Structure 1
Amino acid sequence: MDLGLHGKTAFVSGSTQGIGHAVASALAAEGVSVTLNGRDPERVDEAVSRLRRAYPEVEVSGIAADFAHVDQVDRLTAALGDVDILVNNVGLFGLAEFAAVDDEEWMLYFEVNVLSGVRLSRHALPGMLERGWGRIVFVSSESGVNVPRDMVHYGTTKAAMMALGNGLAKLTRGTAVTVNTVLGGPTYSEGVAASVEAVAAQRSVPAEAMRDAIIGQNATTLLGRFLAPAEVADLVAYLASPRASATNGAALRADGGVLTGIL
């Protein structure tokens, strides 16, 4: 399906690997000029090179910035300029008991997971409204709806992302600009795979068996497996397209059926 995105421009935060890179790839496949982002300049360059090889006809660039540091974000937005599509994907993730997470760690999670979207949207949204078209997509998580007991800090920031997206959508009333959120489910990204492989090595079991055992503990998944990053990215690409013109202020699931509510 042609999503009607050829010639558009996009910025995807946190896009050197995982869901972010899959989103950038899905957009590039539609003819979108994409700017990638990561903390490490070398990894950004490597990700840019991979995408250029895959889509030589598409303009691909990269900007390194750590969203935990405001000065780096300011430099990023100054270099970025206007974009038609903004995907707020960057985020921190980690398991921790609630009592073990101190104020500094809480602030770091809000700085990266929430304020990154605030700052990037504050940069991009006015231009979208002025030009009369634009898309902002937040990549949140089912953990923002069903907050895990061992990831309260993470789930809380993912819930805040949904609230932010919903509020920003109200600023687009009567325009062709939309703001939506994707709730990703358990996804087998490079980071998750590395963690699974490390645990498997400690227990002297095959990584595939450990992977299947971990997802098997999820009692509500209907998919019965981890999602692939591309499966989340496909929904993001649709929401970034003109075909999603009637969807605004929404939180849509790509969660493999993990969430059990009707809505």
Structure 2
Amino acid sequence: MLVDLTGRTALVTGSTQGIGAAIAAGLAGAGARVAVNGRSRTSVEGAIERLRATCGGGEFTAAPGDISTDEGAAQVIAAVPDADVLVNNLGVFGAADALAVSDAEWRRYFEVNVLTAVRMIRHYLPGMKERGWGRIQNIASDSALVTPAEMIHYGMSKTALLAVSRGFAKEAAGTGVTVNSVIAGPTHTGGVEDFVRELVGGELPWEEAQREFMVKHRPQSLIQRLIEPEEIAHMVVYLSSPLASATTGGAVRVDGGYVDSIVP
């Protein structure tokens, strides 16, 4: 399949590293002009340099700002007033004793993992509807469907994101705009490496630590390994394209078979 996003503008939140950076690279490779977002201008400009080197070019623009705040969101919107593709990737995660998570931490997870997506959709969706074309994707997680005991607060936020996606897909019904969630399974990023070592210990070589993590903490995985960020990006690029015009309101899985159900 040929995915051509030439002439389209895409904004990927939280895209200075990990899954977000891989998505930015994938969209740029398909011809989109990609706005890279992170909290500071320094981190964003560094990420753009790395992306250009990785992609052998590509059209990238800086959109720094902490979108978990009104001020930061306004800063990003000023840098990118309109977008054809919005990928809400920004998120926080971490293991915690369920009974020790404070009210403030519950609120932080909801603010960062859910309300940032709502805030961005609220701004960009009207323009997409007016133009009669647009793609919105919210990066969710297997934890939305299989709540991990060590990350109940995180799972809650990702479950809420599925509802956000379905609801806004209805808001966009019949307009040429699609809204979907992408359910990412356990993925190999720097943050996840730290998380794995928290759970299995820091003294093991990485390959051994990864195997032990999958066996002990994610045994449902059918691929029995962590997913690479580029594998998530491939699905996002497809869903961002005209080829995915009949896919909306969905929760599309790139989970390595982790979620033990037939649907979604």
TM-score normalized with structure 1 length: 0.95
CA deviations 1:63-83 (Å, max 9, x no partner) are: 221233221112221221101
Structure 1 residues 212 and 120: CA distance shift in structure 2, 3 A: same
Is 2:221 the partner of 1:215?
no
Identify the residue that residue 107 of structure 2 maps to in structure 1.
107
Q: Which moved more, 1:245-254 or 1:216-225?
A: 216-225
* Partner SS, residue 45 of structure 1: helix
Matches within 5 A, 1:172-183: 172-183=172-183
CA contact (8 A) 1:84 1:135 kept: yes
Q: Is the 8 A contact 2:89 2:139 kept in 1?
A: yes
Superposed, 1:217-236 pairs within 5 Å as 217=216, 218-236=218-236
Whether the 8 Å contact between 1:22 and 1:229 is mirrored in structure 2 is yes
Question: CA, structure 1 residues 114+203, in 2 after alignment: closer, same or farther (shift >3 Å)?
Answer: closer
**Cα distance, 1:145 vs. partner?**
0.8
- Is the contact between residue 85 and residue 135 of structure 1 (CA under 8 Å) also seen in structure 2? yes
| Alignment CA distance shift 1:79-1:204 (3 Å) | closer
1:204 aligns with 2:185: no
Other structure's SS at 2:36 match = strand
Deviation per CA, 1:85-113, whole angstroms, max 9, x where unpaired? 00000001011112111111111111110
Percentage of matched positions with identical amino acids: 45
Alpha-carbon displacement from aligned partner over 1:185-222 (angstroms, at most 9, x marks no partner):
0001121124445777x653212211111012222110
The 5-angstrom pairing of residues 92-241 of structure 1 reads 92-196=92-196, 203-217=202-216, 218-241=218-241
Give the 3 Å change call, closer, same or farther, for CA 43–197 of structure 1 in structure 2.
farther
Quote the Cα distance in structure 2 between the aligned partners of 1:54 and 1:7: 21
Is the 1:12–1:88 contact (alpha carbons within 8 Å) kept by the matching residues of 2? yes
Matched with 2:6 is 6
Amino acid paired to 2:129 = L
- Offset, 1:51: 1.7
Q: Secondary structure at the match of 1:34?
A: strand
1:38 corresponds in structure 2 to 38
User: Does the 8 A contact of 1:212 with 1:225 survive in 2?
Assistant: yes
1:112-162 Cα offsets, whole Å, 9 max, x none, are 100100110011000000001000000000100111111111000001111
Q: Equivalent residue of 2:136, what SS?
A: strand
The two structures, once aligned, show a CA RMSD in angstroms of 1.5
- What's the counterpart of residue 67 of structure 2? 67
Instruction: Report what 2:249 is aligned to.
Output: 249
Secondary structure of residue in 2 paired with 1:224: coil
TM score, norm. by length of structure 2: 0.95
Q: SS of the residue aligned with 2:37?
A: strand
SS in 2 for 1:60: strand
- Amino acid corresponding to residue 63 of structure 1 in structure 2: A
Indicate the SS of the match to 1:154: helix
Q: Distance in 1 between matches of 2:257 and 2:85?
A: 27
8 Å contact from structure 1 (residues 67, 111) kept in 2: no
SS in 1 for 2:235: helix
Equivalent pairs counted in the alignment come to 262
* Displacement of 1:61: 1.1
Hey, what does 2:53 align to over in structure 1? 53
Q: Confirm or deny that 1:87 pairs with 2:87.
A: yes
Distance 1:24 1:131, change over 3 A: same
Contact 1:180 1:251 in 2 (8 A): yes
